[in-house]
Amino acid sequence: MEEKNEFKSEYSELRRVQEMIFGRKKQGLPIKPYFVYEVGETHHPYHLCFPNKPTKQRYENDIFNLLITLPSVGEAINCMKYHLGQYPSRDEFLEFFQHELSARIEKHKSSTDLVITYKECLKWIEGQMIPQSPILDQSHLLDRIQTSQREALIVLFKYLISHMDNSTPPVYGFRGSHLAIAMLLKHYTSFDNTTVGTLQKEVSKCNVEKKMTPELEAELKKFFQQWVEK
């Protein structure tokens, strides 16, 4: 008599009940190695180390445990720089940490030291998601702008990103969305206490045509035009 090779799922009814009642997560999902890990011994201070192959949940928890156990925020950011360089997809890496850090900041908001580290790492991640430009070299000067002048920064960056390419003769400014402008503004201390979502709404409401002075517009066009002509 022939044997029937029936498929047997490793996902048991008991596990399903446990997940429903106790909120336990599925552990069989594959690990995406955002941080390099080793089994047995580690050969780098930024690598994760496990006695045997970890579950996805344990692996991801240990990523964030490593960040908060490093001696300083600067060291945590250096650790993230290292692993970003190892991971094959820059965008996927940044997107994962943007979502995860945001969620963990909200979850652990009562733990001051932990949240400080996560917030600084998130700020670094969001900075990596913005196209870099020579104008950012002047950020140390713009950081001194007082809160009362927030609107001036919004007008400036919205003009650079949304209007420069439509000028005549064409001038090569930036391209981007209101979200990109909001994330750019988060680099400056005037916006430290404002969420990206709130900033995005402020940018959307800003009327550049009414706020931009003809003198400043002429100077900005002149500045960018000199690089186009070189």
What are the residues whose beta carbons fall under 8 Å from the beta carbon of 64, sequence distance 6 or more? 100, 104, 118
pLDDT at 78: 94
Q: For 108-132, write each residue's pLDDT tens digit.
A: 877 788 889 999 999 999 888 876 5
Q: What is the DSSP letter of 1?
A: -
The whole domain housing 59 covers: 29-128
- Of 95, 128, 161, the last residue of a domain is 128
Same domain (yes/no): 140, 121: no
Token pair listed for 23 = 């909120």
Q: For 4-17, write each residue's pLDDT tens digit.
A: 444 343 444 544 44
Q: For 47-98, write each residue's pLDDT tens digit.
A: 999 999 999 999 999 999 999 999 999 999 999 999 999 999 998 999 999 9
Q: Which of 102, 118, 25 is nearest to 69 (CA)?
A: 118
Exposed (0-12), middle (13-18) or buried (19+): which is 40, by Cβ within 10 Å? exposed
Structural domain count, the chain: 2
Same domain (yes/no): 222, 138: yes
Same domain (yes/no): 39, 122: yes
